[in-house]
Amino acid sequence: MTTISEHHKAATRAVFEVWSTGDLARLDKYIAHNVIHHDPYDPYGAEGLTGMKRLISKNRHIYPDLHITVEDQIAEGSKLASRWTATMTHEGKKVVLTGITIDRFEGDKIVEAWRCMDMLRLLRQTGAIADS
């Protein structure tokens, strides 16, 4: 069984940094070309690394000040769970999105990922749905 190392934790943090900086070329070092991304909000999830780059680029275009902070990381076997907080500006208003991503590693690269986000909170903050 593969054991997650500090290297894997750093790799995952580097991927989150790409979301904050837009430096897509860095992903080649950490993400497998055929990565499988499980996220119901990701229209490019089945497109591997290319799809991930498209998603990040699209989000950086919509939210150029997007910044993600990794709050916690927990590892077991070949998987690494990261709890994160994203901040960004939507129509002049700062909004916050929180989530958890679980990455599965083979060797030094992420080969599969699952993401769950608090979309209800984000939709309320952006005014897409009314507070109840």
* pLDDT for 49: 98
In this predicted structure, the answer to whether residue 1 has a pLDDT above a threshold of 90 is no
Q: Given the structure tokens 């950086």, which residue do they identify?
A: 60
Instruction: For residue 12, give the nearest of 55, 69, 86 by alpha carbon.
Output: 69
pLDDT class of 97 with cuts at 50, 70, 90: very high
Give percent of the chain above pLDDT 90: 92
Instruction: For residue 16, give the nearest of 78, 62, 80 by alpha carbon.
Output: 80
* pLDDT for 94: 97
Domain residue ranges in the chain: 6-126
- Fold annotation for 6-126: Nuclear Transport Factor 2; Chain: A, (3.10.450)
